[in-house]
Amino acid sequence: MRQPVTGDLINIHTHGSVRIRGVFSVENLMLHEGRVPDDSADAFSAGIHPWFLQKSELPGLLDRLTQVIKDERVVAIGEAGYDHRRGPGGELQKQAFESQAKLAEECGKPLIIHCVKGWDELWTSRRRLRPEMPWIIHGFNGSTQQATQLVAGGFYLSLWVKSVLGGALNEVLAWIPPGRIFIETDGFDVELGLVYEKAAGGIGIPVSMLAGYVRNNYLTLFV
């Protein structure tokens, strides 16, 4: 049985989390580091990041992933994805991404996605695989048009923390349906409550309402 979702605020994606009263955190495990679920967070995602791919290591990492996700605290696969700025060639990224996407289908867990300049490949994979499990874009930092296209295509959006804090996503926030939004801190040392405050202000709603949206989305997708 999975961990109960406690706390007023949910952090959907973080690195190096520490337990904070009132916060429910999903810590990301990047498997090349050899980490496994421990007591550092309430829940975990686990995956093979495109930055650190090596062809010779991919089979072993996929085997490790199939073992790690048996832990009930692992609630999602990823972060997996495409990155044109960093990492190996596209074919290896595609192999790693689609292998993880298929595993997400097999185990019935959402997929957390890292995507930098790799949107064409991501859409191609989605059309080819036709997933039933939710696909969540972590660190979304795009335009209103892109947000609208992604939502229409079935994606969920977890917002890029630095753009939320700087107000750069205020216009975009109004176009993201309440049922498709998540909040994260990624690897930044920032108070989660401040991120919620800035995002809620950008939408023009109380923090408690945004927290309710994110909580409902988490309970719908992950539990």
pLDDT at 1: 41
* Residue 116 CB contacts under 8 Å (≥ 6 apart), including other chains: 81, 82, 83, 84, 85, 86
Question: pLDDT band at residue 32, thresholds of 50, 70 and 90?
Answer: confident
> Is residue 187 over pLDDT 80?
yes
Superfamily of domain 9-222: Metal-dependent hydrolases (3.20.20.140)
CA distances 115 to 37, 62, 94, 119, 189, Å, are: 24, 20, 12, 7, 22
Beta-sheet strands, E only, within the chain:
9-14, 23-30, 43-47, 74-83, 111-116, 135-140, 156-159, 181-182
Domain ranges of the chain: 9-222
pLDDT tens for each residue of 37-64? 888 789 999 999 999 888 888 999 999 9
Helix (H/G/I), strand (E/B), else coil: 213? helix
- The model's pTM is 0.93
Rounded Cα distance between 26 and 51, Å, is: 20
